Amino acid sequence: MTGNSRIASIEIDDKSLAPAGPDAEHERKVAIFDLLEANHFTVVGHEGGPYNVVLSLVDNRLVFDIAEQDGAPVRRLMLSLTALRRVIKDYFMICDSYYDAIRSSTPSQIEAIDMGRRGLHNEGSQVLTERLADKAAVDFDTARRLFTLVCALHARS
């Protein structure tokens, strides 16, 4: 993606990253790759970009440390996780069901569970977009990939 309204690099603070199994690790890597391929991210009130972003958890808050590509700090966004807790919990429960279903269920059962999983992922993305609204503007696909990374901060193996 070209232009300045985007994330040029993103990483998750190692101290915040929960240990994860291979499925969660794969989802995280795919989300980072897809996010960097195409995203829209603008810090409200800032004309710069593209941005380097570090995601972390600090005092039970989601933190976006945002800098210009040259390393100049732009803003630290802190979001309460309260609004996301339920959807993250539900998302993990349905992901567990999905991975179990892949091993033993019919294609139609797997598809039904996957539809529910995608629905919860969309809900989490919408909540994240709303929580960021007065701080940063993101499109829906960017919010989906960011939600995957937020889940990576909570994933346990």
The number of folded domains in the chain is 1
Distance CA 31, CA 37 (A): 10
* Domain membership flag for residue 133: yes
Distance CA 3, CA 25 (A): 29
Question: Among all chains, which residue has been given the structure tokens 């995957």?
Answer: 148
Question: Among all chains, which residue has been given the structure tokens 């179990």?
Answer: 100
* Domain membership flag for residue 127: yes
- pLDDT tens for the chain, residues 1 to 157: 457 999 999 999 878 776 767 777 787 888 899 999 999 999 999 988 899 999 999 988 999 999 999 999 999 999 998 989 999 999 989 988 988 899 999 999 999 999 999 999 999 999 999 999 999 999 999 999 999 899 888 765 4
* Domain membership flag for residue 17: yes
Amino acid present at 16: S
Q: Which two tokens stand for residue 23?
A: 């499925």
* Domain membership flag for residue 157: no
* Domain membership flag for residue 1: no
* Domain membership flag for residue 2: no
The pTM score is 0.88
Burial status of residue 96 (CB atoms within 10 A of its CB: 0-12, 13-18, 19 or more): exposed
* Domain membership flag for residue 19: yes
Q: Which domain range does residue 36 map to? A: 7-152
